[in-house]
Structure 1
Amino acid sequence: MSSGATSDGTPRGATGIADLGPLARQREQRGWYWYDWANSAYVTTVATVMFAPYLIEVAEAAAVDDRISVVGLSVAPGSLPAYLVTFSTIVSAVLLPPLGALADRVANKKGLLGAFAWSGAAFAALLFFCAGDNWQIGAIAAIGANICLAASMVVNDSILPLISEEDERDRVSSRGWAFGYLGGGLLLVANLVLFLGHDAFGLTEAMAVRISMLSAAAWWAGFTLIPFLRLRHHEPVHVVAESGSIVKQSFGQLHATLRDLRNYPMALTFLLAYLFFNDGIQTVIASASVYGEKELGFETSVLIGTILLVQFVAFGGALLFGRAAGRYGAKRVILVGILIWMLIVTVALFLPEKQMVPFLLMGAAIGLVLGGTQALARSYFSLLIPRGKEAEYFSFYHAMDRGTSWFGTLVFGLVYQFTDSYRPAVFALIAFFAVGGLILTRVDTARGIRDAGNVAPAVV
Structure 2
Amino acid sequence: MSVETEDRADEAADRRRQQRGWYFYDFACSVYSTSVLTVFLGPYLTSVAKAAADADGFVHPLGVPVRAGSVFAYAVSVSVVIAVLVMPLVGAVADRTGRKKPLLAAAAYLGATATTCMFFLDGDRYLLGALLLIVANASVSVSMVLYNAYLPQIAGPEERDDVSSRGWAFGYTSGALVLVLNLVLYTGHDSFGVSESTAVRICLASAGVWWGAFTVVPLRRLRDRRTPKGGEGSVGTGWRQLVNTLRDMRRHPLTLSFLLAYLVYNDGVQTVISQASIYGSEELGLDQTTLIVAVLLVQILAVAGALGMGRMARTYGAKHTIQASLAVWTLILAAGYFLPAGAPVAFFVLAAAIGLVLGGSQALSRSLFSHLVPQGKEAEYFSAYEMSDRGLSWLGPLVFGLAYQLTGSYRDAIISLVVFFVLGFGLLARVPIRQAIVAAGNPVPDRI
Q: TM-score, normalised by structure 1?
A: 0.87
1:232-285 deviations in whole A, cap 9, x for unaligned? 121224x4x77x762222112111111111211111010111122112222333
CA contact (8 A) 1:277 1:433 kept: yes
CA distance in 1, matches of 2:287, 2:197: 20
Q: Which residue does the alignment assign to 2:354?
A: 366
Q: Which residue does the alignment assign to 2:444?
A: 456
Shift of 1:40: 1.1
Counterparts in 2 of 1:301 and 1:395: CA distance versus 1, 3 Å: same
1:13-42 deviations in whole A, cap 9, x for unaligned? x96232122211111000100101100111
Counterparts in 2 of 1:248 and 1:168: CA distance versus 1, 3 Å: same
CA distance in 2, matches of 1:330, 1:448: 14
Q: Which residue does the alignment assign to 2:36?
A: 46
Q: Which residue does the alignment assign to 1:5?
A: none
Q: Which residue does the alignment assign to 2:320?
A: 332
CA distance in 1, matches of 2:422, 2:53: 44
Return the match for 2:13 from 1, 8, 23: 23
Q: Which residue does the alignment assign to 1:314?
A: 302
Return the match for 1:226 from 190, 193, 217: 217
Q: Which residue does the alignment assign to 1:10?
A: none
Counterparts in 2 of 1:106 and 1:412: CA distance versus 1, 3 Å: same
Return the match for 1:128 from 115, 119, 130: 119
Shift of 1:142: 2.3
Structure 1 range deviating more: 34-43 or 65-74 = 65-74
Q: Which residue does the alignment assign to 2:135?
A: 144
CA contact (8 A) 2:309 2:321 kept: yes
Q: Which residue does the alignment assign to 1:87?
A: 78
Q: Which residue does the alignment assign to 1:259?
A: 247
Query: Within the alignment, does 1:96 sit opposite 2:96 as a pair?
Result: no
Shift of 1:389: 1.3
CA distance in 2, matches of 1:440, 1:172: 23
Shift of 1:456: 1.5
Q: Tell me the amino acid that sits aligned with residue 45 of structure 1.
A: S
Q: Which residue does the alignment assign to 1:172?
A: 163
Task: Provide the secondary structure at the position in 1 that maps to 2:443.
Answer: coil
Q: Which residue does the alignment assign to 2:271?
A: 283
Counterparts in 2 of 1:296 and 1:68: CA distance versus 1, 3 Å: closer
CA distance in 1, matches of 2:74, 2:26: 26
Task: Provide the secondary structure at the position in 1 that maps to 2:223.
Answer: coil
Task: Provide the secondary structure at the position in 1 that maps to 2:34.
Answer: helix
Structure 1 range deviating more: 99-108 or 339-348 = 339-348
Q: Tell me the amino acid that sits aligned with residue 440 of structure 2.
A: A
CA distance in 2, matches of 1:71, 1:424: 28
Shift of 1:108: 2.9
Structure 1 unmatched ranges of 5 or more: 1-13
CA distance in 2, matches of 1:350, 1:210: 32
Shift of 1:294: 5.6
CA contact (8 A) 2:302 2:359 kept: yes
CA distance in 2, matches of 1:284, 1:158: 25
Shift of 1:358: 3.8
Structure 1 range deviating more: 401-410 or 374-383 = 401-410
1:380-419 equivalence runs, <5 A: 380-402=368-390, 404-409=392-397
Structure 1 range deviating more: 223-232 or 401-410 = 401-410
CA distance in 2, matches of 1:420, 1:413: 10
Task: Give the CA RMSD over aligned residues.
Answer: 2.8
CA contact (8 A) 1:342 1:433 kept: yes
CA distance in 2, matches of 1:295, 1:138: 22
CA contact (8 A) 1:263 1:451 kept: no
Structure 1 range deviating more: 434-443 or 394-403 = 394-403
Shift of 1:454: 1.4
CA distance in 2, matches of 1:101, 1:69: 38
Query: Within the alignment, does 1:183 sit opposite 2:210 as a pair?
Result: no
1:81-108 deviations in whole A, cap 9, x for unaligned? 3333222221111111111101112333
CA contact (8 A) 1:93 1:403 kept: yes
Q: TM-score, normalised by structure 2?
A: 0.89
Counterparts in 2 of 1:430 and 1:130: CA distance versus 1, 3 Å: closer
Task: Provide the secondary structure at the position in 2 that maps to 1:263.
Answer: coil
Shift of 1:432: 2.2
CA contact (8 A) 1:171 1:326 kept: no
Counterparts in 2 of 1:128 and 1:112: CA distance versus 1, 3 Å: same
Shift of 1:131: 3.8
Structure 2 unmatched ranges of 5 or more: none
Task: Provide the secondary structure at the position in 2 that maps to 1:387.
Answer: coil
CA contact (8 A) 1:97 1:392 kept: yes
CA contact (8 A) 1:277 1:435 kept: yes
Counterparts in 2 of 1:214 and 1:319: CA distance versus 1, 3 Å: same
Counterparts in 2 of 1:83 and 1:332: CA distance versus 1, 3 Å: closer
CA distance in 1, matches of 2:50, 2:337: 35
CA contact (8 A) 1:177 1:315 kept: yes
1:283-302 equivalence runs, <5 A: 283-293=271-281, 296=284, 298-302=286-290
Q: Which residue does the alignment assign to 2:23?
A: 33
CA distance in 2, matches of 1:140, 1:150: 16
Structure 1 range deviating more: 394-403 or 22-31 = 394-403
CA distance in 1, matches of 2:68, 2:402: 22
1:52-95 deviations in whole A, cap 9, x for unaligned? 33344445556676766644556565444333322222111111
Counterparts in 2 of 1:425 and 1:205: CA distance versus 1, 3 Å: closer
CA distance in 2, matches of 1:75, 1:414: 10
Task: Provide the secondary structure at the position in 1 that maps to 2:311.
Answer: helix
CA contact (8 A) 1:104 1:236 kept: yes
Task: Provide the secondary structure at the position in 1 that maps to 2:150.
Answer: helix
Shift of 1:459: 1.6
Counterparts in 2 of 1:432 and 1:128: CA distance versus 1, 3 Å: closer
Counterparts in 2 of 1:256 and 1:16: CA distance versus 1, 3 Å: same
Counterparts in 2 of 1:293 and 1:48: CA distance versus 1, 3 Å: closer
Return the match for 1:192 from 161, 170, 183: 183
Return the match for 2:367 from 376, 379, 392: 379
Q: Which residue does the alignment assign to 1:108?
A: 99
Shift of 1:136: 4.9
Counterparts in 2 of 1:384 and 1:136: CA distance versus 1, 3 Å: same
